[in-house]
Amino acid sequence: MDEQNLHYFDKAPVAKAVAHFAVPMMLGTSMSVIYSILNAYFLGTLGNTAMLTALALTLPLFAAIMALGNLIGIGGGTFISRLLGEKKYDEAKQVSSFAFYSSLVLGLIVMAVGLPLIDPIVHGLGATPDSFGFTKDYVTIMLIGSPFVVLFFSLENIVRSEGAATASMAGMILSVAVNIILDALVIFVFRWGVIGVASATVVSNLVASAFYAFHIGFKSPFLTVSPRWFKATKDILSNVFKIGVPVFIMSIFLGAMSLVFNHFLVEYGDQAVAAYGISSRLLQFPEFVLMGLCEGVVPLIAFSYTANKLRMKHTIGFTIKTIAALAVAFGVAVYLISDNLIGLFTNDPQLIEMGSYILHVTFLSLFITGMTTLFTGIFQATAQGTAAFIMSVIQGITLIPVLYLANRMNGFHGVVWSLVIADAVAFLVGAVMLYVLRNKLQPELDQLVQ
């Protein structure tokens, strides 16, 4: 490992190390959300609510494709960080090569399986007669480009796993910049609508994947995309999938939750779906900033787990304080200007009212969702497969019955509040598991009180 990255992993003050790993990730994820918001904004300028509805309905599909990239990328990335902590550099190269080629294969499988089933997929996403055609257009393009989408999410995690936080951020920003430029062209110049927006997403992921592959192949001393390093040994498969599968399941559950949530919202009209689509994209900005913080420190936690558990404890403590500060700052801002934010996407008074209400309610759980993400990251980094698996399913298991009961009892308001309840349950479960595992994860704890 180069001396600079080793310094941040092992020697730098905790606050400085967290900033090194987390700030680039926070900036990169923030740019991704800005792109998502602009996506909705560009389509919103066309004055077609059905297009905005289609964009909201396709979120579960994108989550599923992203899940495959995270399966390999997070599973492989946390394993690489632990290997670097143990100075097992050749094994790290084998894992990175495995991640590259397995990601491409998974994306090709998605395309081959999904395209013949395009109509059932669109119906399953909950498309209404008005939005069916737009939804089908978006789904078709996303399935064709799925190998590049899977590869992008996988390689972003692999690059970050060796401490190359700046390169990881650069790839994300490159993807967003290409996406925004192409969005403007396809909407305002070529008038391609939803097809153009989906195509822009695929092309931007392709460009960023090429950037990551170049970095791994020519600039990284301990990662590679060379097929001669490819191995699918029992040890690699076990360590990648032990963490990757729970991540995949969690992403699928999030997609399924979004799908189920959309089906409930459809009962209250396209405006309800569009309002949720807009507000959820606005909520993504602070959520992804916190996600960037929590995911950014995962390589540092994983490295410290095998090299210095006391440093790992200090890293976790500092991260929790940062989550709390950011949640308060974002919460105050949103409650002051929510109507103005929704108004950027539509001038429909009812849509603004519904979107602002959803934004107010969902922002109540910002801190606990940040903490839940950190809990999950800790379990991933420390190879606690069972705990990671429980975190991956608990929110989805909770949301579905809560959503059903809340809808029966309080209609639209119950549907919206069910998200907060599910987040709270996931937080409590994660906190209990972390407490139970505390001695295993932090055996040097006694040193702190001496």
Instruction: Tell me the per-residue pLDDT of 371-403, one tens digit each, with 9 for 90 and over.
Output: 988 998 888 888 787 887 788 778 767 877 888
Tokens of 45: 């300028």
Q: What is the CA radius of gyration of the chain?
A: 21
User: 3-class secondary structure for 325-389?
Assistant: HHHHHHHHHHHHHHHHHHHCCCCCHHHHHHHHHHHHHHHCCHHHHHHHHHHHHHHHHCCCHHHHH
pLDDT in tens, 94-131: 999 999 999 999 999 999 999 999 989 988 887 878 78
196: Cβ contacts below 8 Å, ≥ 6 apart: 182, 183, 185, 186, 187, 190
Q: So what's the pLDDT on residue 219?
A: 86
Residues in the chain: 450
Q: So what's the pLDDT on residue 306?
A: 78
Positions in the chain short of pLDDT 70: 1-7, 29, 31-33, 35-37, 254-255, 258, 396, 440-450
| Sequence letter at residue 3 | E
Tokens of 69: 């990239």
Q: So what's the pLDDT on residue 99?
A: 92
Residue 444 to residues 49, 108, 259, 278, 447, Cα–Cα distance (Å)? 57, 46, 44, 46, 6
Q: So what's the pLDDT on residue 74?
A: 84
d(CA 105, CA 184): 32
Angle CA(46)–CA(47)–CA(48) in degrees, nearest 5? 95
In 3D space, the residue among 34, 333, 380 whose CA is nearest the CA of residue 180 turns out to be 34
Q: So what's the pLDDT on residue 324?
A: 92
Q: So what's the pLDDT on residue 445?
A: 40
